[in-house]
Structure 1
Amino acid sequence: MLHFTGVPLQTLLQIGALAGAVVVVFYILKLRRRPVAVPFSRIWERILRDKEATSLFSQLKRLLSLLLQLALLALLLLALGDPRPQANLVEGRNIVVLIDASASMQAIDVAPSRIELAKEEVRKMVRGLSGSDRMLLAQMDAAITPLSTLTGEISELEAAVAAVRPTDATADFARALRFASDTLSGLPSPEVIVVSDGALGEPTDAGGQVRLGDIKLSYLPIGKGSRNAAITEFSVRRYPLDKSRYEVMLEVTNTSDEPLDLELSLLGDGQLTDLTRIRLKPKEKLPRFYPNLSGASKTLEAKLALADGSSDDLPADNRAYALLPERRRARVQVVSAGNMFLEAALLLDEYLDVTFVDPQRYPAASSFDVTIFDGVAPSVAPGSGSLLYLNPTGTSVPFEVGKEVLDDDPNYRLGFDELDAKHPLLRYTALSDVNVARARVLKGNKEDRVVGRSYKGPLLLEGRRSGVKFVALGFDVRESDFPLRIAWPLFLLNAINNFVEEDTSYISSFRTGSVWHIPASSSAEVASLEQPDGTTRAVPIQEGRAVFLGQHAGFYTLRVGAAGAQEESMFAANLSAPEESAIAPAAELKVDGRGAGAVSEFKIGVRRELWVYLLAAVLLVTAIEWFTYHRRVTV
């Protein structure tokens, strides 16, 4: 029994009755004969004799022509109705194909690459769909992106295959399976086909283990090679006291089962600064530390290649990027009645732009990154930046200044008895032997951090109020031997450096596959983000951060504001995922303890849509009529 899935049968009958009537009317009309002047009357006798002999045959010829036209009309109407057998309607499958577009699918162990081979295999599936099957294609990376509707249209599905693009991120397998399960919920003959190299990990998320229930799971493995080495860590920072120099830390990993001879290159601002040859054993990780480097002012890049100059099977993880912190002059305001130790220490850093202000003239007519209050604590004016209190007094401070304590115990010297040695304020310093004549104990909120403490109470405090950082030292340095030590200028410059510098590990080295929160102007709502491939897209700004799911490694440029008055900043992103660099393909895929089956039942060229054959019949009948017309059979 046939069912019409296109134009309804009732509509087809109405169209057919009207169109058939028109065709019949045209054939009933008599042909208007063309008058022909003849010179002799006996010719008419011959014409009349021929007409009498052939009148019945002519009528039959015209009837045959009418039947051919009616047959063409009937076939066209049937094709519009898209008739299908009832069995086809019941047996049709609903399929979601998850195409892995994670970083490992960029491997070139198969020609031209794993992702291109995967796309070609999916094209074969699309062309092998039966007339009652429906398919949805989705790209699986850090997100899940549906590329088509659940459809049987070959053109739409092939366009979706062409839209697949690889990323430099890991695949969120659990999210993809949950998407597929929700899409197929309640549909007959549901099936999920995973096209991947198998480097997907366990399909588990915050909701627990993914369960597919009665949904059929199939797996099409892609890839065959495993030779690969990768840069799995890469970071850089400037030296606090010499911002023209920097240090680099990176890690190289051999994920294959064979030893590899490699060349590791460092490039600063696009120029080669270091070249090292290394040999890695199978599965070996090698950390490398490069101290005291120079020659780059903005960008750093690391490159990895086989020693013979060729590439391994996955070029995507052979490069890493970092952005050096900007070397800009910090604007420092010093509110002091005079302190030669403080003034001398600030002269050591050429990247400080220092303005000295008498306490009576505070604030200066400008905005600053840091303000140092030496022995005074006025109400903080707008534009003062972060705050450093030296020997704070009074009540206009964001913490509590306690009673005065003296160095009056002959058995214990007043100084730092407990230190948070890993705090950035104490980098390269030794304060445990500093002697203090008198001090005041500092007491902050529970969110504040005590960096240095004497046996009589805290002397060095760090915290934040309304987004503004502060550091407080509870004594006058002139009443201690602190200024006589190298630790004094280091502490002072560390404090300013801690205020001014952004978190370089956060800004310059995002990890692909996660949602980034990039510092931006809080007054704007939208920013323009230029990606490594040169394309630009708009990203929203929330609470002073541009929010973006980044899936490609390289350098990015963020622009905020109108043209001509834009704020521009750069940052870098890296693929730092050893699980993606381990590219050996998995022969099996399991979900919730159940193994995925092989992909089958796709036969290219076999379609069960009857309308295709009906249109072919229309063409055949048209050809027959053309032939009979020119042979004067139907005229």
Structure 2
Amino acid sequence: MIFAGLGFAQLAAIFGIAGAAVVGLYVLRLRRRTVAIPFSPLWQRILKDKDATTLFSRLKRLLSLLLQLALLALLVFALGDPRAAATLVKGRTLVVLVDASASMQATDVSPNRLEVAKNEVKAMIRGLGGADRMLIAQMDAMVTPLGPMSGDTSELERALDQVKATDARADFPRALRFATDTLRNVELGEIVVVSDGNLGPALDASGPVHLGDDKLSFVSVGKGKRNVGITQFSVRRYPLDKSRYEVMLEVTNTGPEQQDIELSLLGDGNVVDLTKLRLMPGERLPRFYPNLSGASRTLEAKLANVDGTHDELPADDHAYALLPERRRAKVLVVTEGNTYLEAALLLDEYLEVTQVTPLDYVNKHASGSGFDVVVFDRVTPATPPRAHALYLDPRGPGSPVKVDAELTAPGFDKIDRKHPIVRFTALDDVNVAHGHKLVPDVAAGDKIVGAFGGTSPILVSGSRGAYKFVALGFDVRDSDLPLRVAWPLFLLNTVNFFTDEDARYISSFRTGDVWRVPVSTQATEATLSLPGGGTERVPVHEGRAVYLGERAGFYELTAGDTAATPEQPAPISGANKTAFAANLLDAEESTIAPVPELVVDGKTAGKVEGFHVGVRREIWIYLLLAAVLLTALEWATYHRRITV
């Protein structure tokens, strides 16, 4: 036996001092207990108290004193925290990785896989021996330690209660690297993985994970295989008819049995399509729905079994998407007359176009306020407008970018095809008579979208303050661009780029990724409303809100000076808001068949051993329980007049 708390010499000194005090107090108890009897005046002289004169008379109730000394001995012994010597020498250091990925929400075991996993870990906690220490970490898209390395069972159980399932895949290599770093230079280190085993290889960009001397143990949970999930889902509006849209999705049967399912599409909460499908084992079934209507903002897809039974993994039975908001963009066109420009803008019924001459602009609309976009056709005002602006052949000091040397027969030799203003366009063979080289302000974040010869930009985008701009370095009438389909698409893409309307497929964000949501203000923080309720503050970096999303559903981002703050919890009306959706869409995570073995670094994980459930290692707890029993015994004997 070894004392992990105070040493034996200290305990002996404490017991000697406290014992002497107890004996002293007991000896000084000179008066017997007063007992009222009839006719006390008659007996007072006969039964009058007498002082104890001998040590024997003071200690004649020896049993009571022995009980008190035994109680004191138990309390002092507990201060030493006695433990078995073997357990102190052979203590283990364990890192327990609890899988909280989407597949752990499967209900093939009651109530679900995650709760079964937590019960397994709780049994390990209660069976810790000797000097064992444990750290519990949640393993999903990130690895999150839920408390310090500890041997306190109550603290470990509180940490375990914090584990919550997410709608994301587990990053197994990241979790293993965290565990091996935690156990570096630690003797008897052990990594315990509690999961259904759908973790993928222990391999990342840095290569395979090496365990070293650390022991790897695996607790497998789950037993079901039957599941059908939505593995792809996207929607877009038609660019020239924003009242209609098309949907593309994919449904996958990851189980070993044939499944009959019912697929529902809901627009703004109302059913717009209902289809019954039959999927063979392992089949991936793509579905395309063109020319749909009946939804203005939200679109959802839901799966249900035809036979009325519940799917074993509900997390992948629901997918979400947001349609670009339909609203009329107010466009001010400043031109002396350009039929090509006017005709192209008439193609979109959701554009409210106002055309003015340069003189009218100076006299009536000099600030451009009240408009979403201002198009300057061979006009460059000295003062930039308070709106997003498209400059066609800018000139003079009012240009957002410097206009440099004249170019003869420039073309688009270099194009940033990922930029939204050139989406769906083919500009490579556009013929231009002459134009000018534009010099972007790199320090201000300007981007070269198109360049001639690789060194002469002719199409530049950027922002000045809170407003975006696009500058085209030639007059479109000096080219064949207006004769191509690319011309109206370029204009519509530019307006959409300015107003954040997007006609491309919206595949939504994937859970488990770091999301970078565009924010059209200069704010450094934003408030994110979560699908299940509640909000979080997220940072804004380079015009994008950055957030690691792990929940599927609809989100709303509020940014700007009027966004919610701790002092103003509710966002003020008029704040800049952006809505978006997130989905799981992961065929591997939808494959819920449990894996019986876990192999890492060429080693097969062993079974968890060395935990004796129900046996506590803290002996001092039992010493305190014994002290409580002795106190109860003393109370009982005293009141029954045995030790009085």
Which category of TM-score, normalised to the shorter sequence, fits these structures? 0.7 to 0.9
Q: Is the 8 A contact 2:11 2:80 kept in 1?
A: yes
* CA positional deviation for 1:76: 0.8
> Bigger CA drift: 380-389 or 86-95?
380-389
SS in 2 for 1:244: strand
The TM-score normalised by the length of structure 1 is 0.85
Go from structure 1 to structure 2 and tell me whether the alpha carbon gap of 1:488 and 1:624 turns closer, same or farther (over 3 Å shift). closer
Within-5 A mapping of 1:43-122: 44=46, 61-122=60-121
Aligned partners of 1:398 and 1:465 also within 8 Å = no
1:68 counterpart letter in structure 2: L
Q: Please, which of 603, 617, 620 is the counterpart of residue 612 of structure 2?
A: 603
How many angstroms does 1:551 deviate by? 0.5
Does residue 578 of structure 2 align to residue 577 of structure 1? no
2:472 is aligned to: 472
Residue 384 of structure 2, aligned match among 381, 386, 402: 381
What pairs with 1:408-487 in structure 2 (closer than 5 Å)? Answer: 439-440=433-434, 448-450=448-450, 462-465=459-462, 468-470=468-470, 472=472, 474-477=474-477, 482=482
Aligned to 2:184: 185
Q: CA RMSD in A?
A: 3.9
- Contact 1:430 1:487 survives alignment (8 Å): yes
Partner SS for 1:243: strand
Mean CA deviation greater in 188-197 or 535-544: 535-544
Cα–Cα, structure 1 residues 498 and 620, in superposed 2: closer, same or farther, change >3 Å? closer
Quote the Cα distance in structure 2 between the aligned partners of 1:369 and 1:225.
55
The one-letter code matched in structure 2 to 1:472 is L
Partner SS, residue 236 of structure 2: strand
Asked if structure 1 preserves the Cα contact closer than 8 Å seen for 2:96 and 2:134, the reply is: yes
Partner letter of residue 283 of structure 1?
G
Q: 1:261 aligns to what? A: 260
Q: Deviations over 1:45-77 (max 9, x none)?
A: xx79xx9xxx99976641221121111101111
- The equivalences for 1:480-499 within 5 A come to 482=482, 489=488, 492-499=491-498
Aligned residues: 614
Deviation at 1:324, TM superposition (A): 1.0
- Amino acid of the structure 2 residue aligned with 1:365: S
Q: Is 1:224 aligned to 2:223, yes or no?
A: yes
Change in CA separation of 1:420 and 1:612 when aligned onto 2, cut-off 3 Å:
closer
Q: Could you say which residue in structure 1 is the equivalent of 2:142?
A: 143
Single out whichever of 32-41 and 607-616 deviates more from structure 2.
Answer: 32-41
| CA displacement 1:229-282 (0-9 Å, x = unmatched) | 111111112111121211212121221222222211111111111111222222
Report the 3-state secondary structure (helix = DSSP H, G, I; strand = E; otherwise coil) of the residue aligned with 2:433: strand
Deviations 1:508-528, CA, capped at 9 Å, x for gaps: 711111111222354323222
In 2, Cα distance between equivalents of 1:621 and 1:459: 94
**Distance 1:442-1:295 versus aligned 2 partners, 3 A rule:** farther
Alignment deviations for residues 361-417 of structure 1 (CA, whole Å, 9 cap, x no partner): 45633244433233445557143524251x667795656674566xxxxxxxx9999
Rate the CA distance shift 1:246–1:580 in 2: closer, same or farther, 3 A: same
Equivalent position SS for 1:27: helix
Q: Following superposition of structure 1 onto structure 2, how do residues 128-527 of structure 1 map, counting pairs within 5 Å?
A: 128-360=127-359, 361-362=361-362, 364-367=366-369, 368-377=371-380, 381-389=384-392, 402=406, 439-440=433-434, 448-450=448-450, 462-465=459-462, 468-470=468-470, 472=472, 474-477=474-477, 482=482, 489=488, 492-502=491-501, 509-520=508-519, 522-527=521-526
Identity across matched positions, percent: 57
Q: Aligned pair in 2 of structure 1 residues 612, 275: CA closer, same or farther (>3 Å)?
A: same
Q: Which amino acid aligns with 2:472?
A: A
Does the CA-based 8 Å contact 1:442-1:458 persist in structure 2? no
List per-residue Cα deviations over 1:329-364 (Å, max 9, x = no partner): 223221211234433443343322323232244563
The structure with the larger Rg is: 1
In the aligned structure 1, how far is the partner of 2:407 from the partner of 2:163? 69
Q: Distance in 1 between matches of 2:90 and 2:342?
A: 86
Question: Any idea what SS the aligned residue of 1:155 has?
Answer: helix
- Answer whether contact 2:135 2:147 (CA < 8 A) is retained: yes
TM-score by length of 2: 0.84
Alpha-carbon distance between aligned partners in 2 of 1:150 and 1:57, rounded to the nearest angstrom: 56
Does the residue aligned with 2:255 lie in a helix, a strand or coil? Answer: coil
Contact kept in structure 2, 1:522 and 1:545, CA below 8 Å: no
Superposed displacement of residue 201, structure 1: 1.1
The alpha-carbon distance between structure 1 residues 524 and 8, as it changes in their structure 2 partners (threshold 3 A), is farther
Shift in alpha-carbon separation, 1:179–1:131, aligned structure 2, 3 A = same
Cα deviation, 1:425-467, whole Å, max 9, x if unaligned, reads 6878899999x8x83256567974459x9xx999995432457
> Given that residues 401 and 440 in structure 1 are in contact (C-alpha distance below 8 angstroms), is that contact kept between their aligned partners in structure 2?
no
Whether contact under 8 Å (2:394, 2:473) holds in the other structure is yes
Asked if 2 retains the 8 angstrom alpha-carbon contact of 1:507 and 1:518, the reply is no
Equivalent-residue separation in structure 1 for 2:481 and 2:542 (angstroms):
44
